[in-house]
Structures are given as structure tokens and as C-alpha cells.
Amino acid sequence: MNLAKPIVTIENLSKRFGKIQALDGVSLDVNRGHIIGLLGANGCGKSTLLRHMIGLYLADSGGCTTFGCDASRLGPQQLARIGYVHQEGQLLDWMTVAQHLRYVQAYYDNWNIQLQQEYIEDFEIDLKARVGALSPGQRQKVAVLLAIGFDPELLILDEPASGLDPLARGQFLDLLLKIIQDASRTIIISSHILSDVEKVIDHAIIMKQGRILRDCGFDELREEYVRVRLTRAGEQFDQASLPVAVVSLEQSLGQAIIICEKTNLEKLLQLGREKSWEVEAEALDLEEIYKVLMTQNGCSRGEELAEVLS
């Protein structure tokens, strides 16, 4: 197994649904051994991109290769290496959970019974319940178990934790970290709950309107922006007087909190020393970085939402 070779390669992929350009020339490599966070507003093309990776959608132009095979031609051998949790979590509702597990299990020779038993105990899954009678959260737990039960090399999770309670979300994230301990595994997780995602991801892909805004390591992303607190009693901070481009500035008498690119931090420290300001710098969390990126790219959350709704 060549660990250095990308398992998914997307080249200039475009997809249009009627008037909506869902994906617009997306190019991307997914490498092994990462937990990749696929982030973006509703309708930005995350699910469409994931569905191209497993060949459910066919591209209008460009292409997608998964495990070295054209995604639209994936056969049982390749698909048996991919676990996928669908956003809507569609399952065979008329079956009991136990029956459903037995059914999916029958496809795979390498079903991990031990993992299944641990998962069922940890997540308190009722095996006798009909799948259709489960709550949305319980359904998602079953869907995740069905996707991880055969130890897939590539695990694609499309909003897997949205229906889970905080406790179950915590357990779920621990589970992801356990899965990724095997260096040959790769997880792509699309989620809106950024505070959860940032605990596990080591690579981030941020999308906006069918395009990729950022595709980089999470640490690299965290290094892009910084929050700086400037303090001096009685000082009125003025944006124009600052020697750096500021993403946002909040100020009260004697204090200013600015967000700017981290490359500007040295200049601010220098200015602070010259003007006797107290300068404190701290890293942004993922949610803040996401907001900054969206603002930087000329679209407020309200505008983006309006675009999605229209």
C-alpha cells in the first residue's frame, strides 16, 4: 500500500443543478492518515463533493479518482474500502437494528464484531428496535456503526453528529480518534458543529459557493490569523493609526481587540513597545477563523444565508 499516494484525487470538478453551480472547478487531493474537516455554509457544495468521491454523482466536467479508480466506476472491491454516513441517514426502516446489522455484515468478510459490541454498549443501541422507530440521534448512531463496522480505509461522514446529544458527540469524537490511530485510515468529516470538529481534525477544507477557499493543515490555518488585545488607560485606538490591515476591530475606552493576519503580529508588538501599549496575542478557534475567512471573502453570514435560500 502506497501511503504517500492520495486516495482521492479531484481535478477541476464542476457540477451544476439547474441554475445552481454546486461545484465550480474544484481540485483536491485527499491523503491517507488524516482527519479532514470539510467546512462551509449550507448549500456550499460539501455533500455534493462527498457524493462525487463515491460515484453517486457524475461530474459535468473534470473528474474524481478514488483508490486509483474513476469514482463513477467504483466496484464492490473499492466500495468495500469506503464507509459512508449519509446526511439524511436513510436506512432500511422496516428492519430491526439487529437484522440491519446482520444484513450489512453479510457483505463483508472483515466485519469487526468486537468493535460492534463495544459500540453497541457505549452508545446504548437497542438491537430489538425497528430502525424506523429510532430517534434521529439513534439512527445516526446505527448509520455510523454500519459505516465503520468493516474497518474502512476511507470513512466519509456527512454531518454525522448533528443529531447526537453532547455526551454521544464526545464519545463519537473519541471513536474517530481511535479509528485514525491506524495510519492507513482517512476520515473526511463534514459538519457544522465547528467546536467539535476542531478537536479532531488535522486538515481543513473550507468551501464557499462551490469553490475551495482553503485546503491546508489545521495548524497552518490556525497560524493565519491572530487576536490581539491592545490596552492602555485612556487611549482611544483608531483603525487608521494602526500600521496593519485589520480584519475586525472592537474597541472600548483604553482597550482594543483586533483580529489580523498573524504576519502582522510583529509590527503590532513593535508599535506596542514604542507607544507603551500592553499587547496580548491569542490564537483563534475554528469558528472564529471560519467567520474571518467568510468576511475576508466578501460575504457576511447573512448574505451567504440569503444566497443559499435564494
Partner 1 sequence: MSIMAANLKHFYQRRGLWFWYLIILAQLPTFLMLYKKPDKPIIVGFLMINLLAGMLVASLQKDTLSKAFTFCLPGHRQLGRKFVFSVGLVLNIVFSLPFVAVLDGAALELLLLLAGIISIGMLYYFFSVMFVFRSDTYPSIPGLFWGLLFVSSFFFHSHLYLAVRAVPWGFVLAAVVMSIFAWIWLGRDSHARRLCGTIYLDIMDRWSVEKARRVRQMKEMQKRRDNSERPGWLERFTLSKMKRVEGLSRGRVLWGEFYTVVDQIMPRFWNAIVGMLVMILFYGYLFGGGMEISIGSRRVNQLEMSFMDLIYILPVIGAMQWILPVHCSLLTPAGRREKFVSGIFSAIAITAVATLMLLGLAVFCSLIQPYMPEIPNWFGKPGGTIKFVAPLISHVYLCPLLMPMGFAVGTLFGRQNAVMMFAGPLIFVFCILLNVAWLLLDVGAAWLAVATAGTWMVYVLVLRRHCMSRSLVGPGR
**Neighbouring C-beta atoms of residue 213, cutoff 10 Å:** 18
Tell me how far CA of residue 99 lies from CA of 104, 141, 201, in angstroms. Answer: 9, 15, 33
Which candidate, 72, 126, 131, places its Cα nearest to that of 100? 131
Residues that bind partner 1 (CB under 8 A): 51, 54-58, 72-80, 82-84, 86, 90-96, 98-99, 102-104, 106-109, 127-133, 146-147
Q: How far is the CB of 74 from partner 1 (least distance, A)?
A: 5
Whichever of 75 and 302 has its CB closer to partner 1, that residue is 75
Question: How far is 243 from 20, CA to CA, in rounded Å?
Answer: 41
Question: How far is 138 from 123, CA to CA, in rounded Å?
Answer: 9
Q: What type of residue is 250?
A: E
Whichever of 8 and 54 has its CB closer to partner 1, that residue is 54
Q: How far is the CB of 106 from partner 1 (least distance, A)?
A: 4
**Neighbouring C-beta atoms of residue 186, cutoff 10 Å:** 24
Which candidate, 201, 197, 80, 191, places its Cα nearest to that of 140? 191
Whichever of 109 and 274 has its CB closer to partner 1, that residue is 109
Whichever of 64 and 260 has its CB closer to partner 1, that residue is 64
Whichever of 86 and 222 has its CB closer to partner 1, that residue is 86
C-beta of residue 38 within 8 angstroms of C-beta of residue 68: no
Q: How far is the CB of 83 from partner 1 (least distance, A)?
A: 8
Whichever of 129 and 279 has its CB closer to partner 1, that residue is 129
C-beta of residue 269 within 8 angstroms of C-beta of residue 205: no
Whichever of 147 and 289 has its CB closer to partner 1, that residue is 147
Which candidate, 163, 194, 189, places its Cα nearest to that of 177? 189
Q: How far is the CB of 68 from partner 1 (least distance, A)?
A: 15
Q: How far is the CB of 79 from partner 1 (least distance, A)?
A: 4
Question: How far is 159 from 169, CA to CA, in rounded Å?
Answer: 12
Q: How far is the CB of 18 from partner 1 (least distance, A)?
A: 13
Q: How far is the CB of 105 from partner 1 (least distance, A)?
A: 9
Counting Cα atoms < 13 Å in the Cβ hemisphere of 3 gives 7
Question: How far is 141 from 139, CA to CA, in rounded Å?
Answer: 5
